[in-house]
Amino acid sequence: MNSSGDRVGSLRELPQSITPPRDLWPGIAQAIAAPRDRARSTTRVLGSLAASLALVAVGILLGRGMQPAAVSQPALVQSSPAYLQAALRANPRFARTRDELRREAAERLLAMSPAARAKVTASMVTLQRSLVEIESAIGRQPANALLQDLLVDTYQEEMRVLATVAGNRQEL
Amino acid sequence: MLADGAVSNLMAGSDSLVDLHSAVVERARAGDTRAFERLYREHSGRVYGLCLRMTRDADVAADCTQEAFIKAWQALARFEARSSFATWLHRIAVNTVLARRRQPAAREESLDDAVGALDTELTFDSPVEEAELETAIASLPAGARDVLVLCGVYGYEHREVAGMLGIAVGTCKAQLHRARALLRERIERGVA
């Protein structure tokens, strides 16, 4: 079972965690995928709506102070952690794609009804607040891998939202 | 995306890690398989360790661990956020192991419930080789072993263990008493 050779003085000193002999996640992922796929067909519409709502807010935020010439340097990049900014700078395709999506999304926003635009704005504010809070948390715990994952996830979510609102279904 | 409250909780200072874990659980509840994979990565070792000690078989323990996580995913909607996810998950794992054994919960030996409150810790006069101790635990009868593992190794209280195993608290105490005596005896004899 455990042949580490360590000596212990009590049961509590035994390791509670033992690494499984193989990675069990692939089997778990396969087992849980099917039901979720079925559910996803129902939730996809709602998800798209939420994404659309969130994206409209991006357009609102962009439209608020958008200068066509300034699009190449989005405000989001300026507020991103240093490592993320560096990553974005190192990947001009990512930044360019995001800029294009933002422009397209902003155009689509203009065509939306005021009510839809308001909903999207509210959702997008939430998304932006999430980013700020996560970045702030990372500032306190720079080495926290889970926080970094959350940040990346949230940026990816933003990109999905942008793609949805812009009418571009391409996954990045 | 993260729920508003969960994200805000990230700002809760010293509790931020706990809140972060809650946020991941919330995301998994919402159907995020990546979040659930994080939970698997974080908890699989403890769940597997528990299953391994209860089943004494690496393959069966791996199967039980996998099955427990699948059941957890299916039941996540019923998980109450205010309770401990780890405890909830361990309960599912214990149920999975017990179901594998195909033994009725009432099979436990009828031992004296009046053993009294026992110290769930078991210490040794001199340090014991870890592998020797694990082997001695594995040699215990199933009922005694389950209680010893849950109480002694994982630190659960009698009430919690009794609930997990479907036995009376008194039976749990009696089983622990029996397990400790057997374990001491086997270690002294060098049964391992």
Residue-wise burial string across A70-94, b where 16 or more C-beta atoms lie within 10 A, e elsewhere: eeeebebeeebeeebeeebeeeeee
**What is the tens place of the pLDDT at every residue in A149-166?**
777 777 777 777 777 776
The mean pLDDT of B138-161, rounded to a whole number, is 92
Nearest to B29 by CA among B63, B82, B78, B88: B78
**What is the tens place of the pLDDT at every residue in B156-176?**
999 999 999 999 999 999 999
- In percent, the amount of chain A with pLDDT more than 90 equals 9
Q: What is d(CA A10, CA B128) in angstroms, rounded to the nearest whole number?
A: 8
- Name the minimum distance, in Å, from the CA of B166 to any CA of chain A: 22
The answer for B 53-92 residues in CB contact with A (under 8 A) is 53, 58-59, 61-62, 65-66, 69-70, 73-74
Instruction: Give the confidence band of B61 by pLDDT, cuts at 50, 70, 90.
Output: very high
Please indicate whether, in this complex, the C-beta atoms of A16 and B46 are within 8 angstroms of each other: yes
CATH 1.10.150.530 fits B12-101, yes or no: no
Give chain B's mean pLDDT.
Answer: 80
Higher pLDDT, B143 or B119: B143
Q: Any idea where the domains of chain A sit in the sequence?
A: 44-165
Q: What is d(CA B132, CA B115) in angstroms, rounded to the nearest whole number?
A: 28
- For chain A, the distance separating the N- and C-terminal CA atoms, rounded to the nearest angstrom, is 44
Q: How is residue B150 written in tokens? A: 């849950």
Cα pseudo-dihedral B107, B108, B114, B120, rounded to 10: -150
Nearest to B130 by CA among A19, A21, A9: A9
Let me know: does A33 contact B158? Beta carbons within 8 Å: no
Q: Considering the entire predicted model, what is its pTM?
A: 0.53
Please report which helix (H) or strand (E) contains residue B166, including its range.
none
Please indicate whether, in this complex, the C-beta atoms of A20 and B62 are within 8 angstroms of each other: yes
Q: Any idea where the domains of chain B sit in the sequence?
A: 12-101, 107-189
- Name the minimum distance, in Å, from the CA of A160 to any CA of chain B: 11
Please indicate whether, in this complex, the C-beta atoms of B69 and A8 are within 8 angstroms of each other: no
Reported ipTM exceeds the 0.85 cut:
no
pLDDT of res. B8: 41
Multiple choice CATH, B107-189, 3.40.50.1390, 1.10.10.10, 3.40.50.720, 3.40.50.620:
1.10.10.10
pLDDT of res. A71: 40
The answer for A 66-125 residues in CB contact with B (under 8 A) is none
Answer whether residue A48 shows pLDDT above 80.
Answer: no
Helices (H), chain A: 25-65, 75-79, 82-90, 92-110, 114-140, 145-165
Contacting residues of B for A36, CB less than 8 Å apart = 31, 33
Contacting residues of B for A19, CB less than 8 Å apart = 45, 48
Q: What is d(CA B146, CA B43) in angstroms, rounded to the nearest whole number?
A: 19
Nearest to A52 by CA among A134, A8, A108: A108
Secondary structure of residue B129 in the 3-state scheme:
strand
Give chain A's mean pLDDT.
Answer: 65
- Name the minimum distance, in Å, from the CA of A42 to any CA of chain B: 13
Looking at chain B, which residue has its C-alpha nearest residue A125?
Answer: B4
